[in-house]
Structure 1
Amino acid sequence: MADAEEDYSSLPLTERATHKIWKVRKQAYEDITKDFEKSGSESDVCFKPWLNDPSVWKSIVADANVAAQQEGINALYAFLQFGGPNAGNRSRPYTISSLAEKGIVSTKAATKSRSIDVLLLYIELDTPSPIVDELVPFLSHKMPKVVAATTNVLYTIYKEFGAKTVNPKPVLQFLPKLFAHGDKNVRAEAVNLTVELYKWLKDGMKPMFFNDLKPVQQKELDEAFEKVKNETAKQMRLLRSQQVAAAESSAGHGDDSEAEPEGETDAFDLFEPVDVSSKIPKDFWEQINSTKWKDRKESLDVLYGILNVPRIKEEDFNELVRLLAKSMKDANITVVIVAANCVECLAKGLRRGFAKYRSAVFLPIAERLKEKKQTVTDALSAALDGVFDSTSLTDILEDTMELLKNKNPQVKLESLRFLIRSLRNTRIAPAKNEVKVISDNVTKLLADTLEATRTAAAEAMGTLMKIMGERAMNPFLDGLDDIRKSKIKEFFETAQVKAKDKPPAPSVAMSMATTAKQGVKKKVAAKNPSSQIQPSRAGAPNTNRPSVEETSSPSKRVSSVTKPLAPKQQPSRLSKKTPLPPAIASPTRAAAQIEENVPHNPPVASKFGLGSRGGLTARTLQAPHSHSKPVEGLKSIDLQSSNIERAELERLRLEKETWLTETVGYRVEKEKLLQELSEIRLQNVQLIEEHTRDVLSIKAKETQLLRLRSDIQTAEESVEKKQREIDRLKRELARFSRASSPSASDFADTIATEPYGGYPRERTTSASGISSTGEHSQRMSALSRPRNRSSLAGSYTIDDSQIGYPSREGIRSPISESGASKDKSQQHKIDGDVRIGDPTDPNENWKRAAQVTSQLKMRIEQMKARQHMRGVS
């Protein structure tokens, strides 16, 4: 047995690695690992057998013995670690599938961990795409443990290298299948993988798979996403190519260079472009122009369903954009909302491809911001944000500034809010002239009458200050009061922006001072000729020139760089003899001195004959030629320049006094206007209160009038009802009298139809009112009193005083006296006739009729009394 073992050790490693005895294989794997670790470079002899026949690694990784498999995977790891990218490229096609089926599902934790390390090392050596492409098919494996282990490996890959380095698109397509898997371990690993991808892709990844999940799974994922929403994803491990680039970058920038923070990965490129134009129905173009708003809305709803995709294929959408812009002016707000949603989807789906359509839809959308309904405002604001994402701040700045001058306060407010969102999301800091334009227009709105507009203006200034810095924004805040400044500073501290203004380059004066101290003038001239100053022959007068430049204003230093004229350096040299405060070092004065000193430079240079020095001076941008001037002309030049500087100083002082006076006048005028504005507001409030009281009083009077009209209508209906009852009672009385006694019937007919004073009795009764009715009632009651036959047989006369008639002068009636007397005589005659021939029973009937008549009279009197009281009120 010992001899056999010695024979095994004498075999070549390639034969021992494929031996049938597992112990021999295990020992061979260990020896291979040691050889790789002792190697000096990737081209050593120990790597050649395994590079020439890389298919051997497939059997090594999938060794049937667990212990031998562990050592075999360790040997592969050492091979990749010390063999480099060449070893990975050669062995990768034979080992990935074996590692997925045998390595990552091993029961031994060490083997499983080393298998994952091998896969990560494969990615580090080259690119991640081949590894991921070979692992993705194992997500559909029939064994659940293989699917779960592969999902876990993918989670580790994205956690280490990030979604920016590893393309997440192939994995995102498999997520619905993983969540629909029957094994709970697979679903748990799918959740971990999805959360890790969400750290990089955020909500942009949802359209690819989220709608295919169950509602319970969606809720679970939303809760998990909420926990990591604010986490910033960062790549933990770099590829070899990235490591080389990082090393070169750190060597070039030094230790002070800071790595840029990892940003959110854009998921736009993960989606396939969708051809939406072919999906638009043919009747869409007819319905969108229909006169019925429902047809227009339905057509836009169909269009929104087509355009609501993550990415749209670029085509000619001019006609479609024109129709959407026209829909922004629709009278129905629901049509406007759907049209705005369509513009948002089209802008997000095209990204930069939508920039050419911006001019057609931007202003129609912004002008519709006058709508006060929040749903409309939200839809329009989202559409504007989509348009901005497809363009830049420079593209929308001019139109936005015009909107800030709009007369409608709602348009101004929403335009300001759109500007704030644009400043937050822009990744390129605005230029200096754009900052000035924004500041000039926004600061005017700080004094707006609407509180919300003033607050939005302060927020816009604070956001702009966050981008540009406090120092750059100080000139635009000088004229503001402390309250507005503090408000802007509050928004400045809390603002969150994506763009940062680059710090200004070091000034030329500072670089010149540094080079003067170090004395390395030749090297500085080679690197930056514009910042080099040629020393004069005397030497002493020029030693202080850099210090004078340092005391100059920043504007002068900038102008000295942007305008490379040689004589421009002369005022700085001459200011050494006539020192002046830094305030007078303006570009205007420098330009004036250049114009006066230019004709003197050429002849002076020829007198001194500087030769090569003159050539060097001519090549530098700021080299002063004044050193070549004659000594006798220096005093006159200094005197002349001093007089010019003094005159300009006086002029600047006068201008400053004038500006101060104007500023004081403006402030006084502003205070007066503010006071007048407050008085007008107070008067407006009082007028509004008075108007409110008048409106309430008018409404109260109208209410009373309506009530009175209702009461009058009710009374008229009651009168009509009573009149009908009177007519009914009259008919009852007439019918009852005819049925009981013919004479009584004739008497009733005589009373009803006999003319009374030239008029029929019915009209007389209605004209005489209550008094006539009372007469008739008393007369009827007198007639109905019981009498015996002896009294009836004698001479019986009914007197007016006995019956109780009122005096006829007190009753306004058209009935004449003659008619009344005639009626009396006829009545006496009829009464006598009736009384003579009536039996006993008719008397009872007459008594009963009299009672009915008296009741009728009382009702009529009560009704007329109520009408009279209503007329008085």
Structure 2
Amino acid sequence: MADNEAAVLAAAKKLPLDERAAHKTWKVRSELFDDVKDACAKAFSSEDPILHQAGAEGGGGPLFAKGLGDANLNVQDTSIEALCAWLAKADVQQASRLASSVCSAISAKSLKARPFTVAKAAEACYLLVELEQQESVVESAIKASGDKVPKVAVAALDILKNAVSLFGTKVVDPKPIIRALPTVYGSANAQVRDKAKEISVELASYLGLAVVAGALFEKMPAAMKKDVEAAIAELPPGKRAPERWTRREQEERAVAAGQPEAMDVDDEAEPGLVAAEAAEEVDEGVDAYEYATPVDILGPLQKEVLTIVDDRVAFWDCFESKKWNVRKAALDRLRDAARATRLAEGDYGAVVRELKKVLAKDANITCATAAAEVAGALGSGLRSGFSSAAKSLCPNLLERLKEKNIMMSRAAEDTLRTLGTHCYSLLDVAEDLVAAMEHKNPKVRLETGKLVTAMVEGCPKPIALRALKESLPAALGKLASDADAGVREAAQAGLAAFAVRGGSLAAIEKVLEKLDDGKRKKVEELPASKGSSPRPGAGKSLGGAAIKAAQPAPARRQPAAAGAPPSARSAPGGGRDEEASAGPRLGPEEALERFAELVGADTGKSGR
């Protein structure tokens, strides 16, 4: 019998891999994967023939999927070991061909097998994440988390938890996990619920409490929420760093570690420094909005009846009441509802009409303050879906900046900044801002100047200076000579912000020409005092090369002849006489046009 078995095994070694994987004798199938594991261990790179042979499609599907789905437990064990050895040498392209089939087999079979197989299956999943196949891993693990067998669900959730913990949320997309967790929170099995809590804590360690609270706390049972909050409170302070990296990241880190420090020449980073920056990139913050589930507030409010003192009034009828406290109660209720992290889109036309009416006509400051706060909450929760409404509310909010009541003016200012961040661009409301900067009330002029400066500095993309040069910078130029000192300072700061974002003082040269020497000098000095230095021919924010190309090369300075009068000598930084002799020079208009062409800042793409 033993001799016959040996003969069968010896004969099988001569067969193609897919035929050995389909052999009726389990030892032949098991020996196949032992051979694959040994061959992969000896391979030097992904170009070794065994990587192609074992990863290719056979007659009955991918080789590893057959082994993982085998009825014999020994074959399952050897196949998962062989898969790990193969993944250790494979490249991204090779892994992408079998990721889906392998992950499906792991969820269907491997997680139901012996502890050794489950552990190896988890490691195979992490190797797949290294090879950038995290989407298949997460999808199959989420599917297995709903298995009726608790140990399978626990194993799948453990893979999700460790994948997030090891690689972080920049590699492993948390959104599908967040969407799947509420179902797991309601599991009848305590171990499954505990794993769901652990995943929630891991997500919070990377994304922050605000994201997890906004996206998941409302869907947790009260006791679970308390446990998760306590666990999050015990997390160490600071940003969580991944413990494991994808192959691409490993290569970047290796290059960065082996690259000697280089001098920064002519504002251009060396390749090694770029790699180091990419490898050590710091997460600038996570927007909870991206992970939150949209909340419908219009439906519930439509049916709601408010109790104010002894009166019961339907929500929408409150806005028509002559009693300020009734109107205020409706606005407070609307504001509280709108403060959800993310709001479901819908027809907010009636809401906007009521807000405009209150902001424009309501003499009660507390009602107007509440209306401004509602507008800010809606803008934060709807983002681009509130764009049109936000633009229509802008003039009313700007007008409210004149109020002496600090709560009212602060609410209007905060809301304008929120809407400028999430709902519209400078170009969208340029006319309203210019009108406000010409307002007879100095407080409106002051706060509008500050608002424009903040929007310019916070704009995530280059501003279309060609579209704005005749409006906002010109209006700021007029304000720079305002009788009010605070207004003048705000206007000068706004002009400096435009110069920094434009990358060159040429962007506002036409405005600067109309200022006296003292004010012009102040504008030119402001960027340097804040750590920026816009100058003709240099622009960090939009790329030095593009700005340099927009300016003519400076002429080489010639020494003045002996005995020449002082006016003929070259002053530090160059004077008008020197400029006149330096050859062709672009004027402010031409330089600005050239600059706009180079950076592609057209009207249709501004501020978006």
TM bin, normalised by shorter chain, reads 0.5 to 0.7
**Preserved contact between residue 369 and residue 411 of structure 1 (Cα < 8 Å):** yes
Q: Percent of pairs identical after alignment?
A: 19
1:350 match: 382
Q: Does the aligned pair in 1 maintain the 2:439–2:445 contact within 8 Å?
A: yes
Aligned pair in 2 of structure 1 residues 84, 148: CA closer, same or farther (>3 Å)? closer
Which residue does the alignment assign to 1:807? none
* The structure with more radius of gyration: 1
Q: Residues 256 and 66 (structure 1 numbering): CA distance in 2 closer, same or farther, change over 3 Å?
A: closer
Give yes or no for the alignment of 1:151 onto 2:160. Answer: yes
Corresponding residue number in structure 2 for 1:9: 10
Give, in whole Å, the separation in 2 of the partners of 1:188 and 1:77.
28
- Partner of 2:370: helix, strand, or coil? helix
1:558-577 matches, within 5 Å, as 558=590
Q: How does 1:522-533 map to 2 (within 5 A)?
A: none
Report the counterpart of residue 132 of structure 1 in structure 2: 138
Question: What residue is the counterpart of 2:465 in the other structure?
Answer: 432
Q: Which residue of the partner structure matches residue 214 of structure 2?
A: 207
Residues 472 and 237 (structure 1), Cα distance of their counterparts in 2 relative to 1, 3 Å cut:
farther
Which residue matches 2:475?
A: 441
User: Shift of the alpha carbon at 1:431?
Assistant: 2.9
CA drift of 1:462 comes to 3.7
Matched residue, 2:330: 299
What amino acid is the match of 1:294? Answer: N
How many angstroms apart in 2 are the aligned matches of 1:74 and 1:390? 48
Q: RMSD of the alignment, in Å?
A: 4.9
Residue in structure 2 matched with residue 491 of structure 1 by the alignment:
530
Aligned to 1:325: 356
Residues 68, 79 of structure 2: 8 Å contact kept: no
| CA distance, structure 2, for counterparts of residue 461 and residue 188 of structure 1 | 51
Deviation at residue 209 of structure 1 after TM alignment = 1.5
Residues 237 and 97 (structure 1), Cα distance of their counterparts in 2 relative to 1, 3 Å cut:
farther
With over 3 angstroms needed to count, the CA separation of the structure-2 counterparts of 1:400 and 1:310, relative to structure 1, is: same
Counterpart in 1 of 2:316?
Answer: 285
The 8 Å contact of residues 477 and 491 in structure 2, kept in 1 or not, is answered as yes
Counterpart residue number, 1:29:
33
Q: 2:549 aligns with which of 492, 506, 516?
A: 506
Q: CA deviation at 1:486?
A: 3.8
Which residue of structure 1 aligns with residue 61 of structure 2? 51
Unaligned stretches of 5+ in structure 2? Answer: 250-269, 304-313, 535-539, 554-579, 595-608
Structure 1, unpaired ranges of 5+ = 240-254, 511-547, 563-873
User: Aligned AA for 1:155?
Assistant: V
Equivalent residue for 1:117?
A: 127
Query: Contact 1:60 / 1:72 at 8 angstroms: preserved in 2?
Result: no
Judged with a 3 Å threshold, the aligned counterparts in structure 2 of structure 1 residues 117 and 399 are, in CA distance, closer, same or farther, namely same
* Offset of residue 429 of structure 1: 2.3
Structure 2 counterpart of 1:28, one-letter code: L
Output the CA distance in 1 between the equivalents of 2:145 and 2:392.
Answer: 48
| Residue correspondences, number | 497
Q: Give the whole-Å Cα distance in 1 for the aligned partners of 2:377 and 2:206.
A: 27
Is the CA contact 1:57–1:95 (under 8 Å) kept in the aligned structure 2? no
User: For the structure 1 residues 306 and 92, does the alpha-carbon distance in structure 2 shift closer, same or farther, using more than 3 Å as the test?
Assistant: same
Where 2:350 maps in the other structure, the secondary structure is helix
Counterpart for residue 745 of structure 1: none
* 1:335 aligned counterpart, secondary structure: helix
- 2:307 maps to none
- Once the 2 structures are TM-superposed, how far is the Cα of residue 556 of structure 1 from its aligned partner? 10
Mapped to 1, the partners of 2:55 and 2:285 lie a distance apart of: 46
Alignment of 1:232-271 (within 5 A): 268=289, 270-271=291-292
Q: Distance in 2 between matches of 1:272 and 1:188?
A: 21
Give 1 or 2: higher helix fraction: 1
Counterpart contact for 2:379–2:419, Cα < 8 Å:
yes
Q: Cα 1:7–1:20, aligned 2, differ >3 Å: closer, same or farther? A: closer
- Matched residue of 2:549: which SS? coil
Secondary structure of the corresponding residue to residue 227 of structure 1: coil
SS of match in other structure, 2:518: coil
Residue identity opposite 2:530 in structure 1: F
> How far is 1:321 from its partner?
1.1
Structure 1 residues 98 and 460: alpha-carbon distance in aligned structure 2, compared to 1, 3 A threshold: farther
What amino acid sits opposite 2:528 in the alignment? K
Shift of 1:159: 2.5
In the alignment, what sits opposite 2:371?
Answer: 339
Structure 1 CA distance for aligned equivalents of residues 55 and 363 of structure 2: 83
Distance in 1 between residues matched to 2:271 and 2:379, nearest whole Å: 41
TM-score, length-scaled by structure 2: 0.65
* CA distance 1:325–1:465, change in 2 (3 Å): same
Taking the TM superposition and a 5 Å limit, the aligned residue runs for 1:181-192 are: 187-192=197-202
CA shift in 2, pair 1:159/1:98, >3 Å: farther
CA positional deviation for 1:392: 1.1
Matched, 1:480 2:511: no
Residues 95-135 of structure 1: CA distance to partner in whole angstroms, max 9, x if unpaired?
A: 344444559x64997775344214554x53xxx54432221
Counterpart secondary structure, 1:135: helix
Cα 1:89–1:188, aligned 2, differ >3 Å: closer, same or farther? closer
Task: Work out whether residues 158 and 197 of structure 1, in 8 Å CA contact, stay in contact via their aligned partners in 2.
Answer: no
Give secondary structure in 2 for the equivalent of 1:367: helix
Structure 2 residue matching 1:554: 3-state secondary structure:
coil
The structure whose RCO (Cα within 8 Å, separation 6+) is larger is 2
Equivalent residue letter for 1:195: S
2:260 aligned partner: none
Question: Map of 1:492-641 to 2, 5 A cutoff?
Answer: 493=532, 500-501=541-542, 503-504=546-547, 506=549, 551-555=583-587, 558=590
Give the superposition deviation at 1:289: 1.5
Shift of 1:288: 0.6
* Structure 1 segment 727-746 matched on structure 2, within 5 A: none
Instruction: Confirm whether residue 399 of structure 1 aligns to residue 429 of structure 2.
Output: no
Instruction: Give the match for residue 104 of structure 2.
Output: 93
* Structure 1 pair 322–61 and aligned structure 2 pair: CA distance change class (3 A): farther
CA–CA distance in structure 1, aligned partners of residues 233 and 502 of structure 2: 37
